[in-house]
């Protein structure tokens, strides 16, 4: 294997997870510890001064967490990664590295409702301001730029609408502006889309979803693309200027392509603290070993369900990029030819009331606020995940009152269709 680049499924199983050097255990252990013994006072001092890599305290690093980070970075083609307690935590730590009070970032309107709420509301407490653009119109990102812009943020496949974003076109806008492109790749995973290959600089995940895949653990991830010049335009002093926390160390000068991942760990995670639990890192690691198998089954099932719904007289519309009738079908073929993902939306001719009846009538589907489980999931976004948004925001996010969101699992597809069929009566 020395001269051969391992395939995706090989990396999903082996990357980052060598046999335990202390015991020979083949599966990465759960290192359930808060702290680690230093070899000497000099060793301790070097760790705290960032002169050596090593374990200090589990809020900042942990061997189980490190295995998860290394596996994810390998799958995405990134330089390094940082695991966090949740996808929201990954977003917070990323912006904490880039932003100062009064700064702005441009984000696509077509986002997960929790992200829209986080950006509109909670980020205000930090003095960070979002400017909204339209993922269907790359020029809208260019028009939204200002001297205060520090980043552009999009989803590769939007939640809940399932539309495919033209990453390369928006990456070009970011390059021209000299700011990083941040891509939430939760819905696609690196099995379907590797955003760094299309010009992204930072990739984020809610590992809670497809990456772990079993609905049993929370986690987030920041993947550093290692492909952004942080000295460009003197916009990011916390990454390039002498850092008072580390005796004037310049992070970019010292760590180069891993700067964002290092800063997120030793500055933002250190001080804000949303660390992933070792047990959660272990469970997500286990789930990732079957990521390719699961994602292909998710996509195959979702396409069959969407095609069935599109032909059903009770259905008013279906939005799934895998359908030839979708306006995003060509982008699907370009960015994720193996499949258009598991999540999509549709509406019944009976509108809101018919949708509520459907959600209440399913038996195989689980009615809950999550996606990416091996089980098929269903929800009414406007009253739940996107419930804090205005009517205008709901429309922009593709989550109006008639919308039903499905996350298609890996059960037998005939059983999935039969459950929807009996509940739509």
Phi and psi at 188, nearest 5°, equal: -95, -40
The verdict on residue 209 lying in a domain is yes
Return the bridge partners of 104, or none.
129, 149
Domain match, 221 and 321 both:
no
Look up tokens 């967490």; give the residue.
65
Domain match, 328 and 273 both:
no
263 Cβ contact partners less than 8 Å away, ≥ 6 residues apart = 97, 238, 239, 251
pLDDT digits (tens, 9 = 90+) for 350-366: 888 888 889 999 999 99
pLDDT at 52 over 60: yes
What is the average pLDDT across 323-341? 97
What is the average pLDDT across 203-227? 98
Domain CATH for 120: 3.40.640.10
The mean of the pLDDT values for the chain is 95
* Distance, CA of 388 to CA of 418 (rounded, Å): 33
pLDDT at 374 over 70: yes
Phi and psi at 328, nearest 5°, equal: -100, 10
The verdict on residue 142 lying in a domain is yes
Range of the domain at 246: 8-287
Phi and psi at 387, nearest 5°, equal: -70, -20
Domain match, 311 and 405 both:
yes
Q: Which two tokens stand for residue 51?
A: 């002169």
What is the average pLDDT across 387-397? 77
pLDDT digits (tens, 9 = 90+) for 401-424: 788 999 999 999 999 999 999 999
Kindly report which listed range (135-139, 209-213, 229-233) carries the lowest average pLDDT score.
229-233
Domain match, 157 and 20 both:
yes
Instruction: Please list, residue by residue across 312-350, b when 16 or more beta carbons sit within 10 angstroms of its beta carbon and e when fewer do.
Output: eeebeebbbbbbeebebbebbeebbeebbbbbbbbbbee
What is the average pLDDT across 58-67? 97
Task: Report yes or no: 272 and 265 within 8 Å, Cβ to Cβ.
Answer: no
Domain CATH for 321: 3.90.1150.10
Domain match, 209 and 68 both:
yes
Confidence of residue 382 (pLDDT cuts 50, 70, 90): confident
Domain match, 262 and 343 both:
no
The verdict on residue 2 lying in a domain is no
| pLDDT given for residue 219 in this prediction | 98
Q: Pick from 253, 287, 321: which residue ends a domain? A: 287
| pLDDT given for residue 319 in this prediction | 95
Confidence of residue 192 (pLDDT cuts 50, 70, 90): very high
Confidence of residue 120 (pLDDT cuts 50, 70, 90): very high
| pLDDT given for residue 390 in this prediction | 81
Task: Report yes or no: 185 and 156 within 8 Å, Cβ to Cβ.
Answer: yes
| pLDDT given for residue 187 in this prediction | 97
| pLDDT given for residue 2 in this prediction | 64
pLDDT digits (tens, 9 = 90+) for 71-89: 999 999 999 999 999 999 9
The domain total for the chain is 2
Domain match, 268 and 349 both:
no
Domain match, 161 and 191 both:
yes
334 Cβ contact partners less than 8 Å away, ≥ 6 residues apart = none
Q: Which two tokens stand for residue 358?
A: 């459907």
Q: State percent of the chain over pLDDT 70.
A: 99
Domain match, 237 and 349 both:
no
Helix (H) or strand (E) holding 379: strand 377-379
The verdict on residue 105 lying in a domain is yes
Q: What angle do CA 366, 288, 211 make, to 5 degrees?
A: 50
pLDDT digits (tens, 9 = 90+) for 228-252: 999 988 899 999 999 999 999 999 9
Domain match, 299 and 282 both:
no
Domain match, 191 and 272 both:
yes
């Amino acid at each position: 294997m020395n001269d051969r680049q391992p395939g995706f499924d090989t990396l999903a199983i082996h990357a980052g997870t060598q046999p335990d050097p202390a015991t020979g255990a083949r599966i990465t252990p759960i290192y359930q510890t808060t702290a680690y013994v230093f070899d000497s006072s000099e060793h301790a001092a070097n760790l705290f001064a960032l002169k050596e890599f090593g374990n200090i305290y589990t809020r900042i690093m942990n061997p189980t967490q490190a295995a998860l980070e290394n596996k994810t970075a390998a799958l995405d083609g990134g330089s390094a990664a940082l695991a966090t307690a949740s996808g929201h935590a990954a977003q917070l730590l990323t912006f904490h590295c880039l932003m100062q009070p009064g700064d702005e970032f441009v984000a696509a309107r077509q986002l997960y409702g929790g992200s829209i709420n986080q950006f509109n509301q909670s980020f205000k407490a930090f003095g960070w301001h979002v400017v909204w653009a339209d993922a269907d119109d790359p020029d809208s990102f260019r028009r939204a730029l200002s001297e205060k812009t520090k980043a552009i943020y999009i989803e590769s496949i939007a939640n809940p609408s399932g539309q495919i974003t033209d990453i390369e076109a928006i990456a070009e806008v970011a390059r021209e502006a000299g700011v990083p492109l941040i891509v939430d790749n939760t819905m696609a995973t690196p099995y379907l889309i590797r955003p760094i290959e299309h010009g992204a600089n930072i990739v984020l995940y809610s590992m809670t979803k497809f990456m772990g895949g079993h609905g049993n653990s929370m986690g987030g991830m920041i993947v550093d693309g290692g492909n952004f010049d942080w000295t460009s335009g003197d916009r990011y002093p916390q990454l390039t200027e002498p850092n008072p926390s580390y005796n004037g160390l310049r992070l970019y000068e010292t760590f180069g392509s891993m700067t964002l991942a290092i800063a997120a760990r030793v500055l933002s995670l250190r001080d804000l603290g949303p660390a992933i639990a070792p047990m959660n890192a272990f469970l997500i690691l286990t789930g990732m070993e079957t990521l390719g198998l699961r994602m292909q089954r998710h996509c195959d099932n979702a396409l069959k369900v969407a095609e069935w719904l599109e032909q059903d007289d009770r259905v008013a519309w279906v939005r799934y990029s895998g359908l030839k009738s979708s306006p995003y079908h060509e982008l699907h073929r370009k960015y994720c030819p193996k499949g258009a993902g598991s999540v999509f939306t549709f509406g019944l001719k009976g509108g809101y009331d018919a949708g509520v009846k459907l959600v209440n009538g399913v038996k195989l589907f689980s009615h809950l606020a999550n996606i990416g489980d091996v089980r098929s999931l269903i929800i009414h976004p406007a009253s739940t995940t996107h419930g804090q948004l205005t009517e205008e925001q709901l429309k922009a996010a593709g989550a109006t009152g008639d919308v039903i969101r499905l996350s298609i699992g890996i059960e037998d597809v005939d059983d999935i269709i039969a459950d929807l069929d009996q509940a739509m009566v």
